[in-house]
Structure 1
Amino acid sequence: MATESSDSPYDKAKPFLAVVLMQFGYAGMSIISKHALNEGMSQHVLVVYRHAVATIVIAPFAFIFDRKVRPKMTLSIFFKIMLMGLLEPTIDQNLYYTGMKYTTATFASAMCNILPAFAFLMAWALRLEKVNIRKMHSQAKIIGTIVTVGGAMLMTLVKGTQLDLPWTKGYDQHASTGGLTKQDPIKGALMITTGCACWASFIILQAITLKSYPVELSLTAWICFMGTIEGTVLAVVMERGNPSAWSIALDYKLLAAVYSGVFCSGLAYYVQGLIMKRRGPVFVTAFNPLSMVIVAILGSFFLKEILYLGRVFGAVVIVTGLYLVLWGKSKDEPPSNSSNDHKVAASATQMATKTQERTETLNQDFVALDLTKVRPNDESD
């Protein structure tokens, strides 16, 4: 029964459903955060508040559910966590939000589709991805990476004619930046691209760290905590002499910090770690185009963003390159080993019995969550 369950269509679909929900969450973050930035919120302070909220939300769950399976913290693991906190929560997100200030939410979301290309190149360099130049699927990954980068350049340099959608007629072309920051797509694109390189490095490092510290909740809490500390240092430097930048009220600024902290830092980091164990680091970045489409639609409605033909074409080129990479990735995944699946299923069944005896009073959803985390340890045993 356990083996059948592990091979069920629902189990196979869970990683896809998870990343799709992540993209909806990221789309909501882009819209809400862009509105907060348009209202004058400091991007550096937003990053700090975002990860402070994420730490507060995730840490209690990590303490409760990981206390029996959490491995010993070593200096090597702690150094990797510090580096992850610097790469993604601090450098990437500060660059991303600053780039968004210079452009639009739709532009920033579209540019993030170059992330899989960076992830593939870094995974290839670290031998986490297999590449055989003579094989068609490997050629597709290389060509897709080149096409993706070319699309990003096209989107940045070619604006094209304005697309007059029925609900965007009469929009001010500077409204999407809130009038507080002058649009500079080249500067914004460079910042977002650099941020994506840091994000890809973070994803690869997270995959490596999970091998020696396979507790997703605890790792997420540590990353958010270190991101809060390191981001605070940067924000204090960047906002020196401007204490009003730290003020917050019951408005979009607070909503942006809470929403992005809970859904896009806390939950996204955790879900990303779970999926990465099962499908690898490139798969995690596979569904970014969905977020771009959602942001483009919502941004034109709520942020009065205007679409341009050249940038839409550039986004299409980026997505084409993205799916060339993904097609190549899908062809080099090894077939599942039925005997290993059986061992995992049997081990999970034993752990389910033990955990249920220890946690009869806990909510069943949390028990299932705990089992998901400890399963890899049982497999290695």
Structure 2
Amino acid sequence: MSMEYSKTQLYNEVKPYFLVIIMQFGYAGMSIIGKYALNKGMSEHVFIAYQHAIAAVVIAPFAIVLDRKRTPKLTFCVFAKVALIALLGPVINQNLFYTGMKYTTASFARAMCNVIPAFSFAMAWILGLEKVYLRRLRGEAKVFGTMVTVVGALLMTLVKGPMFNLPWANGNAHQESTNAANKQDITKGALMILASSLSGSGFFILQAITLKTYPAELSLTVLICLMGSLESTILALAIEWGNPTAWSIHFDITLLATIYSGLICSGFAFYIQGGVMKERGPVFVTAFSPLSVVLVMIIGSFILSETLNMGRVIGAVVIVVGLYLVLWGKSKDQLESTSDSDKVVLTAQNMDTMNERKTT
């Protein structure tokens, strides 16, 4: 019995880590494939509208079957929250992110997103979703780790250093000319990605709050994707007005990017992060975003011929250190909350035993 319990306990402990790591692999793939599609001339605004429409269509059957007995009533308050979540995430966050990535590179854009844990941590702290004990080591670790993560992101984006001559990243004249043009808009792209990160942090926080009153992850995911597709379509129509060719999808990388992003990054990622946030909170989910930076930096050098320099490598190492500090603090919080709950159970059991003795 104890062995079965320990296995179940180990599974429950490892599961959130495994899910968010898989999610970061999905986000890394989105950055690479999305950047490749944008380089081919695809409109990022149309791309986002299609992406969330696909996600809603795919996830809806699962929500109907699995959430049919536990889906709460959709009140006006919940609907308003869903509309705001869709505005913050699919519309503002992703449109600014993809536009900023169009002006820069995939690894640069993903590196800038490492300010999301810092923004999310600050928002969660202010709103009372994250408890921070500044006089305890675990609280200091979370605060310091968040600051270290931001420093690592700044090192990756601002410090260059000597270049690494990777043989597989050479000989791509088209990519070099694209990068040369992007360097002229590096500041514009960085500001857009920074704004998208702020909006993305609000998206995570508001999703965590909404799940408390609407605890059906799949159904909430479908609603967010539906509203995100509707709002993104309105925005895309306004921006691409008079350009009907922007809505055409061919059987090439653009179609692959749309399907991949819809299935992995909007559909199942929203569902996974919702489930993990119910258990561990929004800061835990966003703390793993530095992992996708390292993945995009490595994969991008192969597929997109993006060059690496010393600043990006040092920044990646610093980011990983900050990530581990935050996760260490979160794990200590989890252990203390578990021990507190065990004490409550033991106290209740002792009270029951005393009452039984009194009655006998």
Q: TM-score, normalised by structure 2?
A: 0.87
Alpha-carbon distance in 2 for matches of 1:332, 1:183:
45
Pair 50,246 (structure 1): closer, same or farther in 2 beyond 3 Å: same
CA shift for structure 1 position 289: 2.8
Matching of residues 218-297 of structure 1 within 5 Å? 218-297=219-298
Pair 145,287 (structure 1): closer, same or farther in 2 beyond 3 Å: closer
In the alignment, structure 1 residue 22 sits paired with structure 2 residue 23: yes
Query: Is this contact kept in 1: 2:42–2:254, CA < 8 A?
Result: yes
Query: Is this contact kept in 2: 1:104–1:305, CA < 8 A?
Result: yes
In the alignment, structure 1 residue 335 sits paired with structure 2 residue 328: no
Matching of residues 177-216 of structure 1 within 5 Å? 177=178, 184-216=185-217
The residue that corresponds to 1:175 in the other structure is 176
For residues 7-43 of structure 1, what are the alpha-carbon distances to aligned partners after superposition, in whole Å with 9 as ceiling and x for unaligned? 3422322112111211121111111111100100011
Query: Residue 71 of structure 2 aligns to a residue in which SS?
Result: coil
Alpha-carbon distance in 2 for matches of 1:32, 1:119:
26
In the alignment, structure 1 residue 45 sits paired with structure 2 residue 27: no
The residue that corresponds to 1:377 in the other structure is none
Query: Is this contact kept in 2: 1:113–1:288, CA < 8 A?
Result: yes
For residues 214-265 of structure 1, what are the alpha-carbon distances to aligned partners after superposition, in whole Å with 9 as ceiling and x for unaligned? 0001000000000001111111111122111111111111111110001111
Query: Is this contact kept in 1: 2:291–2:320, CA < 8 A?
Result: no
Alpha-carbon distance in 2 for matches of 1:292, 1:227:
25
Pair 142,11 (structure 1): closer, same or farther in 2 beyond 3 Å: closer
Equivalent pairs: percent with the same residue? 59
Pair 35,179 (structure 1): closer, same or farther in 2 beyond 3 Å: farther
Query: Residue 169 of structure 2 aligns to a residue in which SS?
Result: coil
Pair 53,339 (structure 1): closer, same or farther in 2 beyond 3 Å: farther
For residues 179-225 of structure 1, what are the alpha-carbon distances to aligned partners after superposition, in whole Å with 9 as ceiling and x for unaligned? 87565322222211211111111111111111100000100000000
Pair 223,26 (structure 1): closer, same or farther in 2 beyond 3 Å: same
Give 2:64's aligned amino acid: F
Alpha-carbon distance in 1 for matches of 2:244, 2:182:
20
- Computing the radius of gyration from Cα coordinates, the structure with the larger value is 2
Alpha-carbon distance in 2 for matches of 1:16, 1:61:
23
Alpha-carbon distance in 2 for matches of 1:239, 1:107:
26
Query: Is this contact kept in 1: 2:119–2:201, CA < 8 A?
Result: yes
Pair 40,179 (structure 1): closer, same or farther in 2 beyond 3 Å: farther
Alpha-carbon distance in 2 for matches of 1:338, 1:6:
18
The residue that corresponds to 1:116 in the other structure is 117
Cα RMSD between the aligned structures?
2.5
Alpha-carbon distance in 2 for matches of 1:226, 1:119:
23
For residues 64-113 of structure 1, what are the alpha-carbon distances to aligned partners after superposition, in whole Å with 9 as ceiling and x for unaligned? 22222111111111111000000011100011111111111111222222
Alpha-carbon distance in 2 for matches of 1:193, 1:286:
17
Alpha-carbon distance in 2 for matches of 1:231, 1:240:
14
Alpha-carbon distance in 1 for matches of 2:127, 2:144:
19
The residue that corresponds to 1:58 in the other structure is 59
Pair 307,183 (structure 1): closer, same or farther in 2 beyond 3 Å: farther
Query: Is this contact kept in 1: 2:294–2:316, CA < 8 A?
Result: no
The residue that corresponds to 1:106 in the other structure is 107
Alpha-carbon distance in 1 for matches of 2:68, 2:249:
35
CA shift for structure 1 position 174: 4.4
CA shift for structure 1 position 5: 7.1
Alpha-carbon distance in 1 for matches of 2:45, 2:259:
15
Give 1:75's aligned amino acid: F
Alpha-carbon distance in 1 for matches of 2:64, 2:181:
42
Query: Is this contact kept in 2: 1:133–1:139, CA < 8 A?
Result: yes
Pair 172,315 (structure 1): closer, same or farther in 2 beyond 3 Å: farther
Query: Is this contact kept in 2: 1:108–1:192, CA < 8 A?
Result: yes
Query: Is this contact kept in 1: 2:288–2:323, CA < 8 A?
Result: no
Query: Is this contact kept in 1: 2:175–2:305, CA < 8 A?
Result: no
More helix by share: 2
Structure 2: segments with no counterpart, 5+ residues: 346-360
Alpha-carbon distance in 2 for matches of 1:36, 1:283:
31
Q: Which region of structure 1 is more displaced relative to structure 2, 222-231 or 289-298?
A: 289-298
Q: How many residues align?
A: 342
CA shift for structure 1 position 144: 2.7
Alpha-carbon distance in 2 for matches of 1:220, 1:232:
18
